[in-house]
Amino acid sequence: MTPGPVETLGGRHAQQGEVVGLRASAPLTATELAAVRADFPLLNRTVRGDRPLVYLDSAATSQKPDVVIDAELDFYTRHNAAVHRGAHQLAEEATSAFEQAREEVASFVGAAPDEIVWTSNATAAINLVAYAIGNASLGRGGAAARRFALVAGDEIVVTEAEHHANLVPWQELCARTGATLRWIGVEDDGRLRLEELATVVGERTKLIAVSHASNVTGAVTDVARVVARAREVGALVVLDACQSVPHLPVDLHGLGVDFAALSGHKMLGPTGVGALYGRRELLEAMPPVTTGGSMVEVVTMEATSYAAPPQRFEAGSQMVAQAVGMGAAARYLAELGMAAVAEHEAVIAAALLEAVAAVPGVRVIGPSDTRDRLAVVSFVVDGVHPHDVGQVLDDQGIAVRVGHHCAQPLHRRLGVPSSTRASASVYTTLDEVAAFGAALTTVRPFFGLGGQQ
Ligand X SMILES: Cc1ncc(COP(=O)(O)O)c(C=O)c1O
Give the interface segment with ligand X, choosing from 34-42, 115-123, 338-346, 434-442 (CB under 6 A): 115-123
242 catalytically annotated: no
User: CB of residue 28 vs ligand X: minimum separation in angstroms?
Assistant: 24
- Residue 62 is given by DSSP the state -
In whole angstroms, give the CA distance from residue 389 to residue 436.
Answer: 12
Catalytic residue among 406, 416, 430, 449: 406
Site for ligand X in 61-90 (CB under 6 A): none
Give the interface segment with ligand X, choosing from 69-77, 151-159, 161-169, 324-332 (CB under 6 A): 161-169
Instruction: Say which residues have a Cβ less than 8 Å from residue 370's Cβ, sequence separation at least 6.
Output: 346, 349, 350, 353
Q: What is the CA radius of gyration of the chain?
A: 23
Choose between 324 and 359: whose C-beta lies nearer to ligand X. 324
CB 46 within 8 A of CB 52: yes
Amino acid type, 383: G
User: CB of residue 165 vs ligand X: minimum separation in angstroms?
Assistant: 4
Amino acid type, 224: A
CB 48 within 8 A of CB 63: no
Instruction: Say which residues have a Cβ less than 8 Å from residue 116's Cβ, sequence separation at least 6.
Output: 102, 105, 106, 275, 276, 277, 310
CB 192 within 8 A of CB 186: yes
User: CB of residue 123 vs ligand X: minimum separation in angstroms?
Assistant: 3
CB 208 within 8 A of CB 181: no
Write the Ramachandran bin of 220: left for phi over 0, alpha for psi from -120 to 50, otherwise beta: beta
263 scored as a contact of ligand X (CB under 6 A)? yes
123 scored as a contact of ligand X (CB under 6 A)? yes
122 scored as a contact of ligand X (CB under 6 A)? yes
Choose between 209 and 341: whose C-beta lies nearer to ligand X. 209
In whole angstroms, give the CA distance from residue 366 to residue 352.
Answer: 13
User: CB of residue 53 vs ligand X: minimum separation in angstroms?
Assistant: 21
Choose between 181 and 307: whose C-beta lies nearer to ligand X. 181
User: CB of residue 103 vs ligand X: minimum separation in angstroms?
Assistant: 21
User: CB of residue 120 vs ligand X: minimum separation in angstroms?
Assistant: 8
Residues that contact ligand X, how many (by CB under 6 A): 14
Choose between 44 and 171: whose C-beta lies nearer to ligand X. 171
Choose between 374 and 443: whose C-beta lies nearer to ligand X. 374
Q: How far is C-alpha 207 from the geometric centre of its chain's CA atoms?
A: 20
Site for ligand X in 186-245 (CB under 6 A): 211, 215, 240, 242-243
Q: In 3-state terms, what secondary structure has residue 8?
A: coil
User: CB of residue 373 vs ligand X: minimum separation in angstroms?
Assistant: 14
Binding-site member from 159, 166, 425, 429 for ligand X (CB under 6 A): 166
Question: How many DSSP H helices and E strands does the chain contain?
Answer: 15, 19
163 scored as a contact of ligand X (CB under 6 A)? yes
In whole angstroms, give the CA distance from residue 432 to residue 181.
Answer: 42
User: CB of residue 215 vs ligand X: minimum separation in angstroms?
Assistant: 3
Instruction: Say which residues have a Cβ less than 8 Å from residue 110's Cβ, sequence separation at least 6.
Output: 250, 251, 252, 253, 254, 255
User: CB of residue 203 vs ligand X: minimum separation in angstroms?
Assistant: 29
Binding-site member from 63, 121, 135, 177 for ligand X (CB under 6 A): 121
Site for ligand X in 266-325 (CB under 6 A): 274
In whole angstroms, give the CA distance from residue 104 to residue 225.
Answer: 28
Amino acid type, 444: R
Amino acid type, 213: A
Bridge partner list, 381: 362, 384
CB 200 within 8 A of CB 194: no
CB 163 within 8 A of CB 407: yes
- Residue 264 is given by DSSP the state G
Site for ligand X in 388-407 (CB under 6 A): 406
Choose between 159 and 205: whose C-beta lies nearer to ligand X. 159
Give the interface segment with ligand X, choosing from 3-11, 120-128, 175-183, 226-234 (CB under 6 A): 120-128
Q: In 3-state terms, what secondary structure has residue 72?
A: helix
Binding-site member from 130, 165, 167, 443 for ligand X (CB under 6 A): 165
Choose between 158 and 393: whose C-beta lies nearer to ligand X. 158
Choose between 35 and 241: whose C-beta lies nearer to ligand X. 241
Choose between 62 and 123: whose C-beta lies nearer to ligand X. 123
Report the largest interatomic distance among the alpha carbons of the chain, rounded to a whole angstrom: 75
| Contacts with ligand X, residue ranges (CB under 6 A) | 121-123, 163, 165-166, 211, 215, 240, 242-243, 263, 274, 406
Residues annotated as catalytic are: 406
